[in-house]
Amino acid sequence: MQPRCLTRRLGFLLTALTLSLQFGATQAQANDRALQDALQAARQKEWHKIDQSTIDDHILVGYVDYHRLLDQLPQAEPGRINAFIERYRDSPLADWMRGQAISRYGEAGRYQSLLRVADGQPDGAERQCHYYTALLGPDPQQAAAGGRDLWRVGQSQPSACDTLFNSLRAQGEIGEVEIWERTMLAWQAGETGLASYLGRLLGSRWENGRAAMALLQRDFSAITRIPRCLGPECRASSSLLAAAMHGFTRADTEAALEAWRKLEPGLVIEPDHRNAIEYDLAFYSMVRDIRQNRGWVDQALLRLADDDLLELRTRNALAKRDWKWVIHWLGQMSPDNRDDSRWQYWLARAREQLGQDVQANEAYVKAAADRSFFGFAAADRLGQPYALNLERYAIDDQTRARVARWPVVERTEALLRIGEPGLAASEWYAAVRRAEPQDARALADYAKRRRWHAKLVQTTIAGRMWNALDWRFPEAYRERFLHWGEQTNVDPYLLMGIARRESAYNPQALSPAGARGLMQLMPATASQLGQRLGIGDPGPYGVLDPELNIRLGSTYIREMLDRYSGNRLAAAAAYNAGPGRVDRWLRDAPNEFDLFVESIPFRETRDYVQAVLSYQVIFESLAKGGNSEGISMLSPMEKSVRYDRSLLASN
């Protein structure tokens, strides 16, 4: 064949291939548009707008089928519901359909149909009430047990529970004792309307209990004067004491303990109620640092053996630098809690202060094996590199090709193409939760290659891949962090640590308090920063732009660093809790960096500071190939400076 003819033939083939690919892409886009339009019509119940033949072969046809079947409930027979659940068992559609069927069948009183689609107790009080109502006939014992659990709360339950509760009351499964106990729970929860309603359901035998409750609502201190026996067979006394002492302790802890010490000798009370009362007394006595209560608290802690209370008592001992008591209270913790790097670090510090260097070194070694703030602080004490405990997983090309064809991956991709990121996330995370470890790792690898940063982080959490640091701390928006770090003179790895802690790289993240975007800026803060930078108020949606969010967040942490003389511990605390609070904390803070961190009164901020500083180490180590040598979590100044008001640059 002549070269010219061969060239012409190859040209024809390339043209044909290009046209074929273009046609395929155009057809795929048309299919997506048809599905997108059908899904929108299905949500509006505009079935006449859907041409089923155009979507039958689409990977997302189940989403349209879901709305069509949902529209036919509760008339649709359970066989059709179960067939749908089986067909889409690898998708969250199955669980959604089961839950909706339980609700719709329950509302319609189709209890046999409900039980045919249920798979054990469902989630949520409303569906649980429907479920146990359905069991009243076939399994009254289980219905009664489940119904009593739903009854035993201090808040109002959904109206779906009315039939169940009324039936159990008529059968005597919920009697006056249960009504009284719920009345006390409602009073304790501040639900006075519910408490009044329940109180009216009680007979005359409970009159002295109601009278005692009315007296205590006016005056908690009257608790020492009410009769020891209330209600029939004294059944009202124990729960009344628990509810009243809960309110009394919160209102006046010192007086409440004095009253409890008068009441407690010879008192007949349920063990759970006694523990709840003493827990509250110990907790509020320590939080409010009531010295007169300290002796009683220390005795109660030995009885209660509660790790949360023991942690608080240990922190109180640390605040006073009472090293012997630090060791004592650490010894009372459960072994699992005591072995945490945080408490091993403090055990080492205490022993070091007491001159027990060998034991201190042993505890530092245990703490330094952990990848955490206190693990890194322990490593600094030992003069050794940080233990990153990094694991990397190799995913071969054959596995990657297979993963790309998994239905969950295809559905996720298709949902993203048609503008349904919320549904895409539901598909993805449901798959990760179901996956075996090797499949979860394959999904994480896919998310990394697709640069789905937020999904990647959440995949490692759902899949419990704690040591897969390359995946848990991806290089998301790296160039932007490097750029704005240079512009604001802030370490870019600190910026990465803040963003990772704040939003896990979700640019659309919105906190319950209203903070927005990658670095979780409040709209008012973003507005002030924008005005100072001369770019104006970005508004509540403009602040979601990753570039602008990183710029504003970098500027804000720079301001906090300037406020606290470059100290990242104080600046990170202020980024989370506000500078006003940090200024107050520094007024009464201990001098050393570790004691300052432990003294932060808000647990959220205490954990936040530790996370941001340790995350900075991880990001910097990953940038060096996973090597932490030469990296220091804290600067020499941050380790040695006095943590008091002298940190404020204005002083």
SS3 491: coil
Q: How far is CA 613 from CA 158, 330, 490, in A?
A: 45, 25, 13
558 vs 298: CA distance, rounded Å: 44
Collapsed DSSP state (helix, strand, coil) of residue 40: helix
- Other CB atoms within 10 A of residue 76 CB: 18
The pLDDT, as a whole number, for residue 329 is 98
Q: How far apart are CA 547 and CA 405, in angstroms?
A: 33
- Output the average pLDDT for the chain: 94
- Condensed to tens digits (0 to 9), the pLDDT of residues 396-430 reads 999 999 999 999 999 999 999 999 999 999 999 99
pLDDT(168) > 90: yes
Q: Would the pLDDT of 13 be above 70?
A: no
Instruction: Tell me the pLDDT band of 617, cut-offs 50, 70 and 90.
Output: very high
Q: What is the CA angle 136-137-140, rounded to 5?
A: 50
Provide the percentage of residues in the chain whose pLDDT is more than 90: 92
Q: Are 372 and 610 in contact (CB under 8 A)?
A: yes
Long-range contacts of 324-332 (CB under 8 A, 24+ apart): 324/350, 324/354, 326/350, 327/351, 327/354, 329/301, 332/301, 332/302, 332/305
Average pLDDT in the 462-475 region?
95
Q: Domain boundaries in the chain?
A: 175-304, 397-466, 478-647
CB 553 within 8 A of CB 518: yes
pLDDT value at 23 more than 70: no
Choose among 303, 310, 307, 302: nearest CA to 327: 310
Locate all alpha helices (DSSP H) within 135-268, ordered by sequence: 140-151, 162-170, 176-188, 192-199, 207-218, 237-251, 253-263
CA 55 – CA 58 distance, rounded (Å) = 5
DSSP state of 515: -
651 pLDDT more than 90: no
Distances (CA, A) of 646 to 235, 262, 589, 641, 649: 59, 47, 11, 9, 7
Amino acid at 353: Q
pLDDT higher than threshold 70 for residue 2: no
Instruction: Tell me the whole-structure pTM to 2 decimals.
Output: 0.91
User: Could you tell me which residues are beta bridge partners of residue 211?
Assistant: none
pLDDT at 22 over 90: no
Rounded to whole angstroms, the Cα distance separating 369 from 341 reads 8
Could you report the per-residue pLDDT of 310-324, keeping only the tens digit for each?
Answer: 999 999 999 999 999
**Residue 73: pLDDT band with limits 50, 70, 90:** very high
Location of structure tokens 């201990």: 590
Q: For 115-157, how does the pLDDT look when each residue is reduced to its tens digit (9 = 90+)?
A: 999 999 999 999 999 999 999 999 999 999 999 999 999 999 9
**Residue 176, pLDDT score:** 96
Residue 20 in this model has a pLDDT that exceeds 70: no
Closest CA to 554 of 531, 578, 521: 521
Q: Which tokens belong to 590?
A: 């201990």
pLDDT value of residue 650 = 72
pLDDT category of residue 15 using cuts at 50, 70 and 90: low
502 classed as catalytic: yes
Say how far apart CA 406 and CA 408 lie, in whole Å. 6
Measure the CA–CA gap between 399 and 402, rounded to whole angstroms. Answer: 5
pLDDT in tens, 190-208: 999 999 999 999 999 999 9
Tell me which of 173, 311, 427, 502 is the catalytic residue: 502
3-state helix, strand, coil in the chain (%, to 5): 70, 0, 30
pLDDT value of residue 551: 96
What's the pLDDT score for residue 21? Answer: 45
3-class DSSP string for 266-322:
CCCCCHHHHHHHHHHHHHHHHHCCCHHHHHHHHHHHHHHCCHHHHHHHHHHHHHCCC
Where does the pLDDT of residue 649 fall: very low under 50, low under 70, confident under 90, or very high at 90 and above? confident
pLDDT over 60 at 78, yes or no: yes
- Per-residue pLDDT at 28: 80
* Range 397-466 has CATH code 3.30.70.260: no
Rg of the Cα atoms in the chain: 31
Q: Which of 182, 190, 269 is nearest to 223 (CA)?
A: 269
- pLDDT tens digits, one per residue of 505-552: 999 999 998 999 999 999 999 999 999 999 999 998 999 999 999 999
- Yes or no: say if 505 and 482 are a contact pair by the CB < 8 Å rule: no
Least confident of 4-18, 316-330, 412-426, 635-649: 4-18
pLDDT digits (tens, 9 = 90+) for 353-411: 999 999 999 999 999 999 999 999 999 999 999 999 999 999 999 999 999 999 999 99
Q: What pairs with residue 521 in β-bridges?
A: 516
Residue 58 has pLDDT above 80, yes or no: yes
HSE value, Cβ hemisphere, 13 Å, CA-based, for 123: 5
Q: How confident is the model at residue 14 (pLDDT cuts 50, 70, 90)?
A: low
pLDDT at 620: 97
Assess if CATH 1.10.530.10 describes domain 478-647. Answer: yes
